[in-house]
Structure 1
Amino acid sequence: MSDPLKHECGIAVVRLRKPLAYYLDKYETPLWGFNKLFLLMEKQRNRGQDGVGIGCTKLDTPLGQPYIFRRRDATKDSLSEVFRREIKRYNKMARKGHLDPKDPESVKRNFDFGGEVLMGHLRYGTSGEFSEGSCHPYLRRSNWPTRTLMVMGNFNMTNAGELNRKLIERGQHPVFGTDTQTVLEEIGFHLDEHHTDIYRRLREDGVDGQSTPAHISEQLDLHSIITEAGKAWDGGYAISGVVGNGDMFVMRDPRGIRPCYMYMDDEVISFASERVPLMTVYEASEDQVKELEPGGLVIIKRNGTMLETRFSPEWPHSPCSFERIYFSRGNDPAIYKERKAMGAVMADQVCKAIDNNFDKAVFSFVPNTAETAYYGLMDGLRLRRRMEVREEILEASQKGELSEEKLDELIMRNWPRAEKMAHKDIKMRTFISQEDGRAQLVSHVYDITYGVVKEDDVLVVLDDSIVRGTTLKKSILKILARTNPRKIVILSTAPQIRYPDCYGIDMSEMGKFIAFAATINLLRRAGKQAYIDEVYADCKAELQKPLEEIENKVVRIYEPFTDEEISAEVSQMVYPEELEWSGEVEVIFQTIDNLHKCIDGPSGDWYFTGNFPTHGGRATANLAFVRWYEGATGRSYDLPS
């Protein structure tokens, strides 16, 4: 994805099933679980670089000893820094004799992360401050372990404003600006209520005070707590939490928008946002890693018993298709296959754009994340060309014209040509990540391969997706134009992004979408400002309805034009200004039908089609259009009550 775009966060959970002594005896370290947590987070580094947080809960901690811990960091290279500091602290304590690395009980007692329940979070912020305080996990402390709660997640709630108002109506004082705090407080509220009910029953039954904590811990029912809390949530989420006594849970939203996977053996139960990190870290096969069902809830009690259940009724599944297109690492076997298919299926569109003349075309990709789809594109083009050659050979054979020279001509002529055209300078990209001065430096992010493309060639370059088009216009096309082809074709393996995402991706302002801006240009050029005004009025009217009755009226904006007409306008809009090169630019987007053909099972496509899976999503789309029309900026998730 050449446009800078932040997205879903990543979670990692390690729940040890054996005492620390077991791991010391077998793996020669009592920090086996802590090391696995680091590896799971390192393998998901792609999911968040704004900050990290880690947490630990120790089981059966003696009275008076601390039992729950966390560290958070939002500085540069925070993942490595957090773990480096903890290992440094561990080694220093060992050197000074404050703990004995060969004594598991000493490690558990003295090292904050020498516990049995470990969790980690990688943050890609879509809103709020980018500081340590905004990093997960969030912690709600109490002098009762069974009321202490630590929560983290990969999620966005479309109705965070409504949830905050609900807290206020109860008499609480929520910290505004983060739906994470809202989720923590909602679960915490029901945990408190449940806890109080148990305590009163025990008191009425005459249970003495010293025995009360153990009874509460045994009777704590996380299923009912989570089920009650989750009723109010509208969004996409994978959330993990742990109570101070060691009871923990992992849950996934009912439509499966956000991903979550689980691995289990007799040593550990572990969760992550992607399949492959679990496969790699635990040396597991694909079938040993299980996808958490949408609406699924896994509860692991402090005594190790596990319950796999549901906290929500079943809804149609709408897993985020951007996970398949771009976000998840491409070494997942299913995702690798699907990304190759996304490239291969564009072969027909490409051949039309180059007049089926492979002799005068060069194929490449940008950025590196598009490489897998590029392999698929080349496979698709070569397969298409092989079929053409086969027909030509059969035809020549039937006519008695199949000489050795003719065969060489048919086989060697018009064959798809692959080249590496753009080379990304990773250090430069990091240096210019701040907006100030970005425009002057961004054109140097990539180096170009010279001497490959000729003046009469078409240069075809594959991208993951085109969101805003700014990087394409200000950087990529200017760089590619240096090769001086007669035409540049940009392919997007994703369809036109037309609607905001409100479930975790940083795509909330409609005016920044190049497909939306192109459509508005077409409407205004056609003298249809009144039509835009009408859609605005419709969206305003929808927002006055009860949430469950709201329809997405923004779809009307796109109805007057075909996909091809919008793509043609995009092609004109991304053409770099003041460019000496006089060639043609054509932007081609994946079709919705082909996208669905490439992805196994259901896939959420709301940012392309406007078919939002939740009420809050449809309301967000209307609100985003209203905000654009009125000139407001910023995210559009805070819906009216």
Structure 2
Amino acid sequence: MSEQIGHECGIALVRLLKPLAYFQEKYGSPLWGFEKLFLLMEKQHNRGQDGAGVACVKFDMPAGEPYMFRERNTQPNPLDRVIGSVLERYRDLVKAGTVHPEFPDTVKQHFDFGAELYLGHLRYGTSGGYGVSACHPYFRRSSWPTRNLALCGNFNMTNTKELNDSLIAIGQHPIFASDTQAVLEKIGFFLDEEHEDIYRFLRTRELSGQELSRKISEDLDLTRVITRASQKWDGGYAIAGLIGNGDAFVARDPSGIRPLFYFQNDEVVAFASERAPLMTVFDLVLEQVKEVQPGHVVVVKKRGTVSSNPFTAPLPRTSCTFERIYFSRGNDFDIYKERKALGAQLVEQVVKAVNSDWAHTVFSFIPNTAEVAYYGMLSALRQRRRGEVKAAILQASKDGTLTDALLDELIMRNWPKGEKVVSKDIKLRTFIGQEGLRNQLASHVYDITYGSVQPGDYLVCIDDSIVRGTTLRKSILRILARLQPRKIVIVSTAPQIRYPDCYGIDMSEIGKFIAFEAAVALLRRRGQTGLLEEVYALCREEVGRRGTTNHVRRIYEPFTPEEISAEISEMVRPQGIEWKGEIEIIFQTIENLHAAVPTATGDWYFTGRYPTPGGYRVVNQAYVNYYDKHEGRAY
């Protein structure tokens, strides 16, 4: 994607089902579980580079000994820093003779992360700031093991204020930090209640303190805790938690918006936001990795049992399309196929844009994640051209006009040509939250391969999506124009992004979308600005009554997608350059999107059809903010 946007985080959970001595004997390392956690996080580093954190629980520690630990970092390369810091302490303990790896009991006794249960998180900061206090996992501490909670997630809640208000209503004093804090306190409250209910039931049985603690741990019902805590949750979420007694859970939203997968054998249970990392880290085949079902919570008890149960009413499945287009790693088998299909679906529009001039067209991509879609587009273009060549040869054979020169013309000089025209020099992920600096540096992110395009050629470049159009205007089109092509065609594998997201992707300011800017510009040009005020009034009313009608759709209704695309093509033309060639922006159609990605129907950013009531509140509020010239998130 040429424009970096903050988005979904990544989670990993590893629960060993054997003692540390087993892994030392079989794999030569008592830290086998911690190493697997690190690998799962490393294979998902694409999901978050604003912060990283790990937590663990040690089983059966003596009274008075700590048993839960956490390490977090928000400096550059946070995952390397977190893991490096933990392992450096381990090496120091080994060097000092305090820990002996061949004796796992010493590892567990003296090393913080010599544990049986691990949790990891990679963060993109969409709320709560960028400091370490906003970095997952969050902790909620108690002297009772069954009331200790470590929590992390890949989620956004659309109704954080409502969740905090519900905490206030029961007498709590929540800290208005982020939706994670609200969810932590909500789960913590019902975890406390579950603990107290069991405690009151057992305390009349004259059990010893140790036996009482053991029975509470055994009877703790995390499915019931999550069911009660989630009654007012509205958003997309994959949440993972550790309890101090050794229990663990993962929960997924009822629409299946956020992804979540797991693997289990007799040695380990492991969870991750993506399927491919589990396959790579544990050397698995596709069928061994399962998907956590939407609206279900998977509970791993300290005794090793694993159960999956629904915790909320089911909703129609609307998995995030952007996961397939961009966010998830492309080495997943299904995602790879879908991205190739996204490229292939654009062929008809592309061929029309270059007037079928195969001999004078160069096809390329905007690095790095559009590369797979490029292969799909190029493969489909060649297949189409083969059909044309075959028909021409058959006709020439029939007419008796088939010659070597004709074959050269048909095949050698008229074949789809691919080049790596654009290169990415530096990364701007560090500056995602700094709009001014991002814009200032945008013109230096990409460079071109001089000589890859001849003056007068058509140049087609495929990108994952076009959100703001800033990078096109300030960088990509400006440098592509140096090659002096006849026409530049930018092809987006995603449809026009028209509406805000509120379920994990940090794009809630509607006024910054190039498609919205184009629609407003067309309204102004046609003298229809009264519609802007009319929609404003409707949106304010809808927000006030918490309705579920998307009034912003009316902004787009007067225009065809082609008209908006044409306006975008004009808006992104760089200023102050001598090149006078043509620019055309092509977007994927909604129909072709779903044909290429049939398993993910979550398309609200394209269509305005939201899976939860909170989405409609956000889209209307986003327009109100735009009209009132208020910047910031709409939720």
Please tell me the TM-score bracket, short chain as reference: over 0.9
Cα contact 1:342–1:373 (8 A) shared by 2 = yes
Please, which runs of 5 or more residues in structure 2 have no aligned partner?
none
Give the whole-Å Cα distance in 2 for the aligned partners of 1:502 and 1:427.
25
> Which aligned pairs between 1:548-563 and structure 2 lie closer than 5 A?
549-563=547-561
Describe the shift of the 1:116–1:476 C-alpha distance in structure 2 as closer, same or farther (beyond 3 A): same
Q: Which residue of 2 aligns with 1:620?
A: 618
Q: Which residue of 1 aligns with 2:598?
A: 600
Give the whole-Å Cα distance in 2 for the aligned partners of 1:273 and 1:81.
21
Give the whole-Å Cα distance in 1 for the aligned partners of 2:559 and 2:437.
37
Give the whole-Å Cα distance in 1 for the aligned partners of 2:423 and 2:533.
45
Q: Which residue of 2 aligns with 1:232?
A: 232
Q: Which residue of 2 aligns with 1:397?
A: 397
What SS does structure 2 have at the residue aligned with 1:54?
Answer: strand
What SS does structure 2 have at the residue aligned with 1:331?
Answer: coil
For residue 432 of structure 1, report the CA deviation from its aligned partner. Answer: 9.9
What SS does structure 2 have at the residue aligned with 1:86?
Answer: helix
What SS does structure 1 have at the residue aligned with 2:483?
Answer: coil
What letter is aligned with 2:365? F
What letter is aligned with 2:242? V
What letter is aligned with 1:292? V
2:257 is aligned with 1:253: no
Greater shift in the superposed pair: 427-436 or 628-637:
427-436
Cα contact 1:261–1:291 (8 A) shared by 2 = yes
What SS does structure 2 have at the residue aligned with 1:102?
Answer: coil
What letter is aligned with 1:588? I
For residue 436 of structure 1, report the CA deviation from its aligned partner. Answer: 5.2
Q: Which residue of 1 aligns with 2:579?
A: 581
Cα contact 1:488–1:584 (8 A) shared by 2 = yes
Give the whole-Å Cα distance in 2 for the aligned partners of 1:495 and 1:584.
21
Please, which runs of 5 or more residues in structure 1 have no aligned partner?
none
> Which aligned pairs between 1:423-572 and structure 2 lie closer than 5 A?
423-426=423-426, 435=435, 437-545=437-545, 547=546, 549-572=547-570
> Which aligned pairs between 1:92-131 and structure 2 lie closer than 5 A?
92-131=92-131
> Which aligned pairs between 1:321-360 and structure 2 lie closer than 5 A?
321-360=321-360
1:193-240 C-alpha deviation (Å, 9 max, x unpaired): 111111111123444444221111111111111111111100000000
Greater shift in the superposed pair: 458-467 or 99-108:
99-108
What letter is aligned with 1:396? A
Describe the shift of the 1:229–1:441 C-alpha distance in structure 2 as closer, same or farther (beyond 3 A): closer
Q: Which residue of 1 aligns with 2:388?
A: 388
Give the whole-Å Cα distance in 1 for the aligned partners of 2:208 and 2:86.
40
1:437-488 C-alpha deviation (Å, 9 max, x unpaired): 5445432222211123222211111111000000110011111111011111
Give the whole-Å Cα distance in 1 for the aligned partners of 2:633 and 2:427.
30
Cα contact 1:432–1:442 (8 A) shared by 2 = no
Give the whole-Å Cα distance in 1 for the aligned partners of 2:612 and 2:553.
16
What letter is aligned with 1:93? L
Q: Which residue of 1 aligns with 2:40?
A: 40
Q: Which residue of 2 aligns with 1:296?
A: 296
Give the whole-Å Cα distance in 2 for the aligned partners of 1:251 and 1:23.
28
Cα contact 2:428–2:438 (8 A) shared by 1 = no
Give the whole-Å Cα distance in 1 for the aligned partners of 2:211 and 2:288.
40
Cα contact 2:148–2:243 (8 A) shared by 1 = yes
What SS does structure 2 have at the residue aligned with 1:368?
Answer: coil
Give the whole-Å Cα distance in 1 for the aligned partners of 2:291 and 2:440.
45
Cα contact 2:138–2:150 (8 A) shared by 1 = yes
Cα contact 2:6–2:432 (8 A) shared by 1 = no
What letter is aligned with 1:556? R
For residue 9 of structure 1, report the CA deviation from its aligned partner. Answer: 0.2
Describe the shift of the 1:432–1:591 C-alpha distance in structure 2 as closer, same or farther (beyond 3 A): closer
What SS does structure 1 have at the residue aligned with 2:418?
Answer: coil
Greater shift in the superposed pair: 233-242 or 94-103:
94-103
2:186 is aligned with 1:212: no
What letter is aligned with 2:621? L
What SS does structure 1 have at the residue aligned with 2:150?
Answer: strand
Cα contact 1:432–1:441 (8 A) shared by 2 = no
1:631 to 629, 632, 635: 629
For residue 403 of structure 1, report the CA deviation from its aligned partner. Answer: 3.2
Number of residues of Structure 1 aligned to a counterpart in Structure 2 = 635
Give the whole-Å Cα distance in 1 for the aligned partners of 2:404 and 2:485.
34
**Identity, % of aligned pairs?**
59
Describe the shift of the 1:319–1:421 C-alpha distance in structure 2 as closer, same or farther (beyond 3 A): same
1:37-72 C-alpha deviation (Å, 9 max, x unpaired): 111111111000000010001111111111111011
For residue 434 of structure 1, report the CA deviation from its aligned partner. Answer: 5.3
What SS does structure 2 have at the residue aligned with 1:369?
Answer: coil
Q: Which residue of 1 aligns with 2:71?
A: 71
Greater shift in the superposed pair: 15-24 or 169-178:
169-178
1:588-613 C-alpha deviation (Å, 9 max, x unpaired): 00000000000132420000000100
For residue 527 of structure 1, report the CA deviation from its aligned partner. Answer: 0.9
For residue 429 of structure 1, report the CA deviation from its aligned partner. Answer: 7.7
Describe the shift of the 1:328–1:428 C-alpha distance in structure 2 as closer, same or farther (beyond 3 A): closer
Q: TM-score, normalised by structure 1?
A: 0.97
Give the whole-Å Cα distance in 2 for the aligned partners of 1:382 and 1:449.
23
What letter is aligned with 2:542? E
Greater shift in the superposed pair: 92-101 or 274-283:
92-101
Give the whole-Å Cα distance in 1 for the aligned partners of 2:600 and 2:13.
26
1:57-101 C-alpha deviation (Å, 9 max, x unpaired): 111111111111101110111111111111110111122122222
Q: Which residue of 2 aligns with 1:311?
A: 311
Cα contact 2:9–2:153 (8 A) shared by 1 = yes
Q: Which residue of 1 aligns with 2:278?
A: 278
Cα contact 1:23–1:30 (8 A) shared by 2 = yes
1:140-159 C-alpha deviation (Å, 9 max, x unpaired): 00010111111100000001
Greater shift in the superposed pair: 405-414 or 355-364:
405-414
1:404-448 C-alpha deviation (Å, 9 max, x unpaired): 433333223421111111111136886999555544543222221
Q: TM-score, normalised by structure 2?
A: 0.98
What letter is aligned with 2:620? N
Q: Which residue of 1 aligns with 2:59?
A: 59
Cα contact 1:429–1:445 (8 A) shared by 2 = no
> Which aligned pairs between 1:49-198 and structure 2 lie closer than 5 A?
49-198=49-198
What letter is aligned with 1:583? G
Give the whole-Å Cα distance in 2 for the aligned partners of 1:474 and 1:170.
52
What SS does structure 1 have at the residue aligned with 2:271?
Answer: strand
For residue 583 of structure 1, report the CA deviation from its aligned partner. Answer: 1.0
1:312-350 C-alpha deviation (Å, 9 max, x unpaired): 222110110000000001111100000000001100000
Cα contact 2:56–2:115 (8 A) shared by 1 = yes
For residue 402 of structure 1, report the CA deviation from its aligned partner. Answer: 2.4
What SS does structure 2 have at the residue aligned with 1:118?
Answer: strand
Describe the shift of the 1:632–1:427 C-alpha distance in structure 2 as closer, same or farther (beyond 3 A): closer
Give the whole-Å Cα distance in 2 for the aligned partners of 1:439 and 1:553.
31
Cα contact 2:319–2:601 (8 A) shared by 1 = yes
Give the whole-Å Cα distance in 1 for the aligned partners of 2:507 and 2:75.
24
What SS does structure 2 have at the residue aligned with 1:482?
Answer: helix
Give the whole-Å Cα distance in 2 for the aligned partners of 1:245 and 1:462.
51
What SS does structure 2 have at the residue aligned with 1:155?
Answer: strand
Give the whole-Å Cα distance in 2 for the aligned partners of 1:432 and 1:239.
24
